[in-house]
Chains A and B, each alone.
Chain A
Amino acid sequence: GSQQNRASRRKNYQRKNRDGKKAREEGSQQKDRGKTTSTKDQKESKNKEKKTTKRGKEGENKQKKDRKNSTSSTSSNSSDEESLSEEELAMLKEQVEQKKKLISTMRNKPWRMVKKLSVLREAQDFVEKFEGALGKGKGKKLYAYKMMMAKKWVKFKRDFENFKTQCIPWEMKIKEVESHFGSSVASYFIFLRWMYGVNLVLFGLIFGLVIIPEVLMGMPYGSLPRKTVPRDEQATAMDFSVLWDFEGYIKYSALFYGYYNNQRTIGWLKYRLPMAYFMVGISIFGYSLMVVIRSMARNANESTADGDDDNFIFSWKMFTSWDYLIGNPETADNKFASITTSFKESIVDEQESNKDENIHLRRFLRVLANVLIICCLCGSGYLIYFVVKRSQTFSKMQNVGWYERNEVEIVMSLLGMFCPPLFETIAALENYHPRIGLKWQLGRIFALFLGNLYTFLLALMDDVNEKLAEEDVVKNITHWTLLGHQNSSAGNDSTVTPPPLDPADVPRGPCWETTVGIEFVRLTVSDILVTYITILVGDFIRACFVRFVNYCWCWDLEAGFPSYAEFDISGNVLGLVFNQGMIWMGSFYAPGLVGINVLRLLTSMYFQCWAVMSSNVPHARVFKASKSNNFYMGLLLLILFLSLLPVAYTIMSLPPSFDCGPFSGKKRMYDVIQETIELDFPLFVAKIFSYVANPGLIIPAILLMVLTIYYLNAVSKAYQRANAELRKKMQMQREEEKNKRNNKASTNPMLQDLEDLLTPSTKTESPPKQAEDKKIESPNGTSPVRKPGRGEVPAGSPMAGGRGAAFTPPAPVFVTQPRTLGLRAPYPGQPRPWGHPLGPVPGRGRGQPCY
């Protein structure tokens, strides 16, 4: 009797399946089914009780239940020892659990809403009803409490989720852009938003831990030489032209390194500012590294698909080329055109795949393009070096014009403006797929920016060294001046303490840290201006011109030469990344830089959104962003690392200026840590620290890390190899299958008929066994249901009753072999040797993304 019941439930399950169960659930159920064999005996014994409690509920999660039965019943046995019928209780509990699971995964079910709603309500009612009945006796109160808390927790989580999505800024704006320009343009804005978030955190760190304490609790402006404008600059210190160069009052403000005092503790809080300054400088890098790497890892996890598989060129083109986010007729037109072209291209490729006469030409062109681009890069690098050198001679001269003062920034911005289009023109020679082309383009512009940045840094380093030499001289002068001042006043009247020298009059060193900070701030600001002006002129004015002059022009401006601008994704992304690199590098010497950057990102979000919507046209070859995201992150990580290097170098190996900044008077900046440890911590901490800092410990630690990396790398390589192997195997299997099918196609019908005839007599024993063997052979739960044999009647087709019905009704026959029954129902057709692969089949469903 129970078997009959189960068989019908199986059928029920299949019907559900036909309704559209997803591969994932199937996968898990198949897996569970594998376990069923082990818990079978247990199950048999419980079947009776099960039947009493079951109220004809749909048996779709049956397998899950079976599995749980074995685990949960044991645990519940211990807790509900004294309850009336623990079996029943366990069953009930388990059903409740299962209903809850159903509720939580409801949204993943491909059912109609009506059905979802009704099933949901049913499940909720069920849970409502029986939850209270559970946990009789001792545990009842606790159980009820737990349930209540769980409910509250769920509600809280949902509210929090709602709140969180409401807090995401610019969602609508980005969606709008997305609908007009496809996902690739939107990906830039999402990246921009992410960047904004990161910078807000950095800003909070710097602002809250460094700038505010110094402003509130530190010595006020004018109390120290480092916080005062020198006497000879005071006349012009408030002029706009001076402020614009970040000289005058701005130079002696909390925006720059030089303003900070080296007093060990400030204010009534005894806030250790130099220490905080140092730690914040480090933690900015630490935090950025962590965030970038974490989001990279998350992206990598999300993209299970690896696009290098070229088995499905046409299929992917056909089924995934449409960007479902497009909601703008113009973009849609472009998309149609690009899909058509890509189809034609791949058809031509397919037809001419044997001919490879073009390859040599293409290769030649690609090499040529790369040579040209390397030339450009070298040229721009040299130009910058030349300009920076020249600016150093200019800085020694007295009255130089505006151009001479800003030559470096202007040249760098111009290079950044003109080189990318040049690269794009050269890249047209190469004829890559736009997505690959985009990557190349990004890589090249990145190389350009990086080269420029590093040349700039090298030149700056020269400058710093000069300043350091100069400083020694000034140090003596300052020393003697102070001494002389004291002596002179002491000579006059030894009893009265001399009036202190006005801080504005004290001769002071060049303070190379502030100089570096100012360079970075100027670079950032000029970069912002150039970007905005480019957008305004290159996009907006051009669009206006094209739009309005078109009425009275001799050719069609919109379709012809100037036309509208496209949104330059690669340039914009790289501009952002590069800018961020400058922020990271400069923020140690100019704490205010992060604030400027936050402002920049905020305005650029609005400004660029507006510019894109008002004056750009969608790309002619619209393509989707898909995985470029991690590429952006990779670039960001690289530039983060590269900007870490110079900062670390200066911190570790250059002496800080003697009269400005929080580390003045120390030999090296990191001495502040040692000082803190020695003065503020008990002795044994200092001892421990000295042991830990011992090279004898650090080198083995680094070695250990290197070895770990090596090991993990080897392991991941091995996994990759196994993965590739499996894929190859699968491929071969497919081919083999196909061949087999093709060969047997002619004989198949006859064979089928024969087997049909044999079915009632022979099938009772052997085929299910066979099936079960197979089941065991494929431990990963390769699902026969998902991969139906050819002879199997599709569950949803009108023939479903056909052969399947031929053997299900005589259920009593099987009573003697209950073991096989569990595996019977999923095979309405006869199992065929080639019906399902024996090995594990990766990539099916999402339960097993890789091995």
Chain B
Amino acid sequence: MGNKQTIFTQEQLDAYQDCTFFTRKEILRLFHRYRDLAPQLVPLDYSDKPAVTLPYQLIGSMPELKDNPFRQRIAEVFSEHGDGNMTLDDFLDMFSVLSEMAPRDLKAYYAFKIYDFNNDDYICKSDLEKTVNKLTRNELTPEEVSLACEKVIYEADADNDGKLSLADFQQMILRAPDFL
């Protein structure tokens, strides 16, 4: 194998491979993707772990996220301080979870975080409304939105506290045929 890359040390690469679902090549490719967002900010040598963060504006402009209605939430959930600005570690984390190798329950956990807009560890009605509006680009009337949200809570809320806990959410979503 060509050991020509000097971006990471071998230990770093191994550690990243242990911590993500990626292979060595994919990690390097992701690094280059990360670096291409802001070549002037990101150094080519990561062996001494420079503390570089990229602002959300750059992360959100990636083609993978650009058209995603939840891009801001995704960035916030995966960023270290919840502000959408990402270090390389956060970046790798995000792609690892979103990759197809990640197990469904890990995805479910993060999906819950993403849909939990106000970070209170429950998906409550306001979260649901936001979700619907983002999904439909505000094309539903408020009555329709609230009806849909009520239906969701009625369907998925197992302990009947008017909001979805992580357990409710997981039980619901892990059985969904479409949940990838």
Contact = CB atoms under 8 A, between A and B. Distances in A.
B42 interface: no
B133 to A, nearest CB: 11
A112 B178 contact: no
Contacts of B177: 303, 305-307, 316, 626-627
Interface string A808-828: 000000000000000000000
Contacts of B66: 327, 329
Contacts of A159: 1
A322 B18 CA distance: 29
Interface in B135-180: 135-137, 139-140, 144, 147-148, 151-152, 155-156, 158-161, 165, 167, 169-180
- Size category of the binding interface on chain A: 35 or more
Instruction: Classify chain B's interface size.
Output: 35 or more
B155 A314 contact: yes
Given A161-B23, A319-B169, 18 more contacts: A20-B109, A120-B18, A162-B24, A166-B23, A179-B63, A314-B151, A315-B172, A316-B178, A318-B132, A321-B178, A324-B180, A328-B63, A340-B140, A627-B177, A741-B160, A788-B167, A796-B121, A846-B105
B148 A343 contact: yes
A22 interface: yes
B159 A311 contact: no
Contacts of B15: 117, 120-121
A110 B108 CA distance: 10
Interface string A832-851: 00000000000111100000
A319 B130 CA distance: 12
Give the 3 A-B CB pairs with smallest separation, nearest first: A113-B89, A307-B177, A332-B67
Interface in A337-381: 339-340, 343-344, 347, 350
Interface of A: 20, 22-24, 103-104, 106-108, 110, 112-114, 116-117, 120-121, 158-159, 161-162, 165-166, 179, 183, 303-307, 309, 311-322, 324, 326-329, 331-332, 336, 339-340, 343-344, 347, 350, 624, 626-627, 734, 737-738, 741-742, 786-788, 790, 794, 796-797, 843-846
B45 interface: no
Contacts of B120: 797
Interface stretch (B30-38, B52-60, B92-100): B92-100
Contacts of B85: none
B151 A843 contact: no
A305 B175 contact: yes
Nearest to A18: B121
A24 B70 CA distance: 26
A328 B139 CA distance: 21
B50 interface: no
Contacts of B43: none
7 contacts: A305-B179, A316-B177, A321-B135, A327-B63, A336-B136, A340-B139, A347-B147
A312 B180 contact: no
Chain B interface, DSSP helix/strand/loop, else mixed: helix
Contacts of B124: none
Interface of B: 1, 14-15, 17-21, 23-26, 63-64, 66-70, 80, 87, 89-90, 92-93, 96-98, 103-106, 108-111, 115, 120-122, 128, 131-132, 135-137, 139-140, 144, 147-148, 151-152, 155-156, 158-161, 165, 167, 169-180
A439 B67 CA distance: 29
Contacts of B21: 107
Given A112-B90, A624-B178, A312 B155 contact: yes
A313 B155 contact: yes
A2 to B, nearest CB: 32
A311 B135 contact: no
B162 to A, nearest CB: 10
Contacts of B104: 846
Contacts of B156: 312, 315
Nearest to A155: B14
Contacts of B110: 110
A358 to B, nearest CB: 20
A114 B19 CA distance: 10
Given A322-B135, A350-B147, A626 B180 contact: yes
A180 to B, nearest CB: 10
B18 A106 contact: yes
A738 B160 contact: yes
Contacts of A314: 148, 151-152, 155
Contacts of B80: 112, 114
B137 to A, nearest CB: 5
A350 B151 contact: yes
Contacts of B174: 304-305, 843, 846
A843 B169 CA distance: 12
B82 to A, nearest CB: 11
Nearest to B93: A113
A693 to B, nearest CB: 47
B85 to A, nearest CB: 14
Given A113-B92, A350-B151, A844 B176 contact: no
B89 A112 contact: yes
Contacts of A106: 18-19
Contacts of A327: 63-64, 66-67
A627 to B, nearest CB: 6
A339 to B, nearest CB: 5
A624 B180 contact: yes
Nearest to B167: A786
A843 B171 contact: yes
B159 A790 contact: yes
B49 to A, nearest CB: 9
A332 to B, nearest CB: 4
A183 B178 CA distance: 11
Contacts of A303: 177
A336 B135 contact: yes
Contacts of A331: 67
Given A106-B18, A843-B175, A737 B159 contact: yes
B179 A320 contact: yes
A162 B121 contact: no
Nearest to B17: A158
A786 B174 CA distance: 14
A305 B23 contact: no
B136 A324 contact: no
Contacts of A316: 172-173, 176-179
Contacts of A332: 67-68
Contact of A107 (B20, B23, B144): B20
A530 to B, nearest CB: 35
Given A179-B64, A327-B63, A738-B160, A319 B176 contact: yes
Contacts of A796: 121
B97 to A, nearest CB: 8
A347 B141 CA distance: 11
Given A110-B109, A113-B89, A350-B147, A319 B115 contact: yes
B19 A120 contact: yes
A23 B111 CA distance: 14
A319 B147 CA distance: 16
Given A162-B25, A343-B132, A796-B121, A22 B89 contact: no
Contacts of A306: 175, 177
A154 B96 CA distance: 21
A263 B177 CA distance: 57
Given A314-B155, A347-B148, A843-B175, A328 B67 contact: yes
A312 B147 contact: no
Contacts of A114: 80, 89
B70 A322 contact: yes
A113 B90 contact: yes
A787 B175 contact: no
A322 B105 contact: no
A626 B174 CA distance: 13
B158 A787 contact: yes
Contacts of B14: 158
Nearest to A114: B89
A59 to B, nearest CB: 21
Nearest to A841: B171
B68 A322 contact: yes
